[in-house]
Amino acid sequence: MSLAKPMMRGLLAKRLRFHLPIAFGLAFVAAVAFKYTVTEPRKRAYADFYKQYDAVKEFNAMREAGVFQSVRPSGE
């Protein structure tokens, strides 16, 4: 009953050889997925918002609603 000698060395290296490419690959895929599902839509949303943004109009609307302390609504 002579068994084969088991692997004595290089166990971590073998595991890393297998798992490290997978880990890097998954991390890269996660980053790419995040970029195209979150950051690109967000950039587009901000661009579209500010294309038609009238700051003065928004300011006056907020002023009339009474949310500022420095300027009260024009009626008072």
* 22 vs 65, beta carbon nearer other proteins: 65
Cβ of residue 33: shortest distance to other proteins, in angstroms? 19
* 26 vs 45, beta carbon nearer other proteins: 45
Cβ of residue 21: shortest distance to other proteins, in angstroms? 30
List contacts with other proteins (CB under 8 A).
Answer: 42, 45-46, 49, 58, 61-62, 65-67
What distances in angstroms separate CA 33 from CA 11, 19, 26, 39, 44, one per listed residue?
A: 33, 21, 10, 10, 16
21-26: which pairs have CB atoms within 8 A and are 24 or more residues apart?
none
